[in-house]
Structure 1
Amino acid sequence: MKNRIPRIYINKDLKIHEKVILNVSNTHYIIKVLRMNIQEKLEIFNDTNYVFLSKIIEIKKKIATILVLEKEKKNIESLLLIHLGLAISKNEKMNFAIQKSVELGVHMITPILSKYCNINRNKKNILKKNIYWKNIIISACQQCKRNIIPKINNAEDINIWCTKSNTNEIKIVLDPRSSTNVNQLPKNINCIRLLIGSEGGFSSLEMEKIIKHKFIQVKLGPRILRTETAAIAAVTALQMKFGDLSN
């Protein structure tokens, strides 16, 4: 059985035969966590559709140097563009929903501030969370072998986010009271703005405004889902119907 080559993310343009000094975080990961040594190989991704096979050539104190050996084009991005508007929920739930949504192929995430978000709304606190969420996204890409890093936007008020849309974008909001399911959506969808609420859902006033901005109310089934389950189930259903999970 072929051993899996470890992957790390480097925010840098790379060239074959280039020597790259890893930052402290990546060095700690490959040396202390993975217990890798000189001459062992690893795969680098850098937010392009290329991966770079490299090997460790030097380890000094807390710094490791690698040599880029070759590159290969690998595009595993879904053709279905899902922009996930995810109402901010408690730490573990939000982290889990972001991680799994990335693994399932969403291309953009916007944390949403809604009435029932149970969080500290201090601006510094939210910006700190955003940095943490970006690291979760990078880690998820590292695990699932995505090479393009999905963008996470700054947190946005629900009333502002809902007014926005792109050309040919279908707007969807999960609503267990709806009579419409995924199979009843228009055919040939390739761009979706998907809105998912927090544990308390959306207020009646928020839902009125969401519908006013032409979001289609969709239910996933007869059961009420937790927010993190709803995110995973919705993205999975949409990828199965319009994306690449059926491939």
Structure 2
Amino acid sequence: MSVRRFMAPGADLAGESVRIEGDLFRHMVKVLRLKIDTRVRLADGHGVECAGIIQEIGRDHLTVAVEERHAVAPVGGSLRITLIQGLPKGEKMELILQKGTELGVNEVVPFQADRSVSRIPADRQDERLRRWQRIAAEAARQAGRLDIPTVQLAQGMDEAVRDTDHDLKLLLWEEERATTLQGAINVRPRPASIAVIVGPEGGLTREEAETARRTGFIPVTLGRRILRTETAGIALLAILQYLYGDLGEGENPEEGPGSSLTS
């Protein structure tokens, strides 16, 4: 029987034992009904994994005695992708986080675009970020990733693009008419890192597009096809992972299907 793997973001895997609380504890004990002496693997989402045995189960936590510890390579290859997403309405951001995580995005930067209908009050931003990070962690667990995308909220386009140092920077802009996605990527060397900007439902203003252009982003059009904001980034991530990442590659025969994290 294969050993179950679990994402344990925030857990300290450096000691002789690991304490598991909260949602992961409830999932392991209440849902999966794991018992004392069950062997498990834990990953912290930052490249460290440990194997051990459940040593203790309390009312609100369990303890895993660590037997071995090692570094692991992130699932998704060496391509680093950042999605800079204009804040959409309702729960669309959660869908974008879930599907983006499945498609191997490394960082998601929601930003308050000029035309964003949704606005997050300053006193609720930390709470919203914690929720988004939990959603990303859960999606990573479901997708079998051993790393978790980071989520950072930016107050506007200036802040969203300020520290981008990617090899390829793409801006999906509905007002671009000349440069296609294919044209933008065909004339450039294979990138190791890519940043993508997607606007909210109302699109980006000319001023926002110009701000992105000044920091090296290439405005591109998807032609006659019109995609919703929650679809555009997901579609582009899939394309980029197919071209430059590991989408469509065969399974590692040394790992096999038993290597994925449990759902």
SS across alignment from 2:138:
helix
> Which runs of no fewer than 5 residues in structure 2 stay unpaired?
250-263
* TM-score, reference length from structure 1: 0.87
Aligned to 2:122: 123
Query: Equivalents in 2 of 1:160, 1:66: separation in Å?
Result: 41
Aligned to 1:137: 136
Question: Which of 44, 49, 52 matches 1:51?
Answer: 49
Question: Which of 238, 241, 244 matches 2:240?
Answer: 238
Check conservation: 1:21, 1:64, Cα contact below 8 A.
yes
Q: What value does the CA root-mean-square deviation take over the aligned residues?
A: 2.4
Following superposition, the deviation at residue 219 of structure 1 comes to 3.0
Aligned to 1:104: 103
* TM-score, reference length from structure 2: 0.82
Matches within 5 A, 1:24-103: 24-75=22-73, 76-103=75-102
Query: Equivalents in 1 of 2:40, 2:129: separation in Å?
Result: 28
Question: Which of 205, 208, 211 matches 2:210?
Answer: 208
Query: Equivalents in 2 of 1:218, 1:236: separation in Å?
Result: 16
Question: Which of 195, 198, 219 matches 2:221?
Answer: 219
Deviations 1:169-212 (A, max 9, x none): 32211124444333321121112221011111112332333334
> Which runs of no fewer than 5 residues in structure 1 stay unpaired?
none
Aligned to 2:169: 171
Following superposition, the deviation at residue 112 of structure 1 comes to 1.0
Query: Equivalents in 2 of 1:147, 1:238: separation in Å?
Result: 21
SS across alignment from 1:156:
coil
Distance 1:239 1:40, change over 3 A: same
Check conservation: 2:167, 2:194, Cα contact below 8 A.
yes
Letter aligned with residue 192 of structure 2: N
Following superposition, the deviation at residue 158 of structure 1 comes to 0.9
Check conservation: 1:46, 1:148, Cα contact below 8 A.
yes
Letter aligned with residue 23 of structure 2: S
Letter aligned with residue 41 of structure 2: E
- Say whether residues 1:198 and 2:196 are aligned partners: no
Distance 1:211 1:24, change over 3 A: closer
Distance 1:54 1:10, change over 3 A: farther
Query: Equivalents in 1 of 2:92, 2:9: separation in Å?
Result: 27
Query: Equivalents in 2 of 1:72, 1:214: separation in Å?
Result: 38
Aligned to 1:187: 189
Check conservation: 2:100, 2:237, Cα contact below 8 A.
yes
The farther-off stretch of 105-114 and 220-229 is: 220-229
Query: Equivalents in 1 of 2:117, 2:101: separation in Å?
Result: 23
Query: Equivalents in 1 of 2:91, 2:203: separation in Å?
Result: 17
Check conservation: 1:15, 1:68, Cα contact below 8 A.
no
Aligned to 2:252: none
Distance 1:19 1:161, change over 3 A: closer
Distance 1:80 1:156, change over 3 A: farther
